[in-house]
Structure 1
Amino acid sequence: MNALMALWRYRGFILGSVQREFQSKYRNSLLGAAWNIVNPLSMIIVYTVIFANLMRTRLPGAQDHFSFSIYLCAGILTWGLFAEITNRATGMFIENANLIKKLSFPRLCLPVVVVANSLLNFGILFGLFLLFLVISGHFPGWVILAVIPLLVLQVLFAIGVGISLGVLNVFFRDVGQFFALFLSFWFWFTPIVYPVSVLPESVQSLMRYNPMARLIEGYQQVLLHASMPNWYSLWPVVVLTALLCVYGLWQFRRHVGEMVDEL
């Protein structure tokens, strides 16, 4: 409760940081914020060209030539949010070392700024994706509301991972490098550019241990099939998220004083 009150008192600092970061990211750029759309769009186009003909016939519930593109977008856009939060949170204390040393403010403002910026970028992309669904006649209707709890769970999971690794990264700088590499493998072990059904049964059983696979499948169920996700399948993710958030906050509070010296 005290932490929430502190964050509320520093809401001006948080909003100002989000605004400055968004503006500085695209300053002196001809395309500006459009780069936020170009990068994931180019990835979606490449994967669609490479995998569409190969995977479309093996995609369960595929109805037309838009199905695989929707399947891809549901995975790539939401994975991009997860990757951005975790990557940035892992290095947030190091990147803001000067700010931490010179100013007195609740250090938990930093993960809030990371999440806010990531959600801002995601909101732009996801809004355009929803517009595409409406224009193409594939909007899932009221079922789209199921995305909200999925998104909340994913953000909490990402920040739990990010804070836990961010604290460790201050003391062991290899953590950030290793996680960036690990994230690349994690992407391909998640059913984003391929359906689980194309994998051998032995590999499919391993997907149960991938929390992001459960979340991404939930998004795909809503956006592609216009049906509710299997909420029961997400209970391991909820438990893991709670454990990571508690562990990350415990690590943060335990080492917040030491981190200033290490930075």
Structure 2
Amino acid sequence: MKLNIFSRIAKSFKDVWENRIILLAMIRRNTAGRYKNSYLGFAWHLLTPILMIIVFYITFTSIRPHPIPDFWIFLSSGVFPVSFLSASLRGRSIVSNANYITKMKFPREIAVIASVITDFLPVLFAYNLIVIVILLAGQPVNWYGMVMIPVMLAMMLIFCIGCSFLVSTVTVFVKDVGYFMAAIMRLVYWVTPTFFMLSDATGLLKDVVTYNPFTYFVEVFHDILYFGVFPHTEYIIICSILTASFFLVGSWVFFRYEKRFPEVL
């Protein structure tokens, strides 16, 4: 049967809204489950990237002959998008919810969306904190650019849902994909301009960074929070195209094969 992706997405929005109680319950379960028996609990979601920022800051301000001015702002404004994007591409949201998928009747996309939102919440809190610290530090602020932060966060959320739809579906049928993506995502930090200026990339690294879709999300946040300017229109357009493309492709793949999940899982 031919799949009309636009009507199917519209139906999915309706189904998810009608089952929002299940969505909220899965988000709470995901959050509680990840930090079970941990003293700090949800705080680890924020502490992990913060500790990463501290390590990167100490390392790169020590080895660079001319460190980037206000490197802590540059680093913190770029590391959280990469952390979120990496977490969303683990591809485990369907496999890890196999019991629910096979035994309960509910919109299966909720399992993916709940997983992505769970990873998104710390990013939301982190950017609120970063903005507050920047304001208290007296850094120059472009208020028109600040308005773009919630827009870009929403765009990044939709982009990650689309990516997760795609990777999670493929992982159901080819389990090795999840491990492959985990290995790839470890390399992402080194080919995304989170701790180096985009203009510093040369040769092969420049080519890789240019074709890395994560680069443009990171650069938008650098423009807003580090450079204090309205983000480049080119970056916003590229992010919009990437978001629409990955969401449509990911949704098509997910809805095309979701009926086979129970028999494979």
Q: Percent identity?
A: 25
Give 1:51's match in structure 2, choosing from 52, 57, 60.
60
Alignment equivalent of 1:229, drawn from 228, 231, 238: 231
Kindly indicate whether the alpha-carbon contact (under 8 Å) linking 2:191 and 2:205 is maintained by their aligned counterparts in 1. Answer: no
Question: How many equivalent pairs are there?
Answer: 255
TM-superposition CA deviations, 1:176-233 (whole Å, max 9, x none)? 1111111112221111111123232564244321111111111001001111111223
Which stretches in structure 2 are left out of the alignment for 5+ residues?
1-9
2:89 to 75, 86, 90: 86
The one-letter amino acid of 2:148's match is A
Secondary structure of the 2:94 match is: helix
The 1:236/1:122 distance shift into structure 2, 3 A limit, reads closer
Could you say what the CA RMSD is over the residues aligned between the two structures, in angstroms?
A: 2.0
Q: Is the 8 A contact 2:116 2:160 kept in 1?
A: no
Equivalent in the alignment of 1:183:
185
- Residue 11 (str. 1) matches residue 20 (str. 2): yes
Mapped contact 1:92–1:110 kept (Cα < 8 A): yes
1:232 & 1:241 partners in 2: Cα distance?
14
Which letter maps to 1:78? P
Distance in 2 (alpha carbons) for counterparts of 1:229 and 1:56: 28
- The one-letter amino acid paired with 1:179 is M
Cα shift readout 1:112-137 (whole Å, capped 9, x = no counterpart) = 21232122222222222223212222
Q: Per residue, is there more helix in 1 or in 2?
A: 1
Distance 1:86 1:147 in 2: 22
- The equivalent residue for 1:41 is 50
2:4 maps to none
Task: Report the TM-score when normalising by structure 1.
Answer: 0.89
Letter in 1 for 2:31: F
User: Which one-letter code corresponds to 1:135 in the other structure?
Assistant: L
Deviations 1:68-123 (CA, angstroms, capped at 9, x unpaired): 00000011112111112222xx1111000001111100011112212321222222
**For the residues of structure 1 that align with 2:105 and 2:40, how far apart are their CA atoms?**
36
> Structure 2 CA distance, aligned partners of 1:8 and 1:257?
21
Shift of 1:56: 7.9
| Alpha-carbon contact 1:55-1:194 (below 8 Å) kept | no
Aligned: 1:74 with 2:77: yes
Cα pair distance change 1:129/1:12, threshold 3 Å:
same
What one-letter code is carried by the residue in structure 1 that aligns with 2:82? W
For structure 1, the 5+ residue unaligned runs are: none
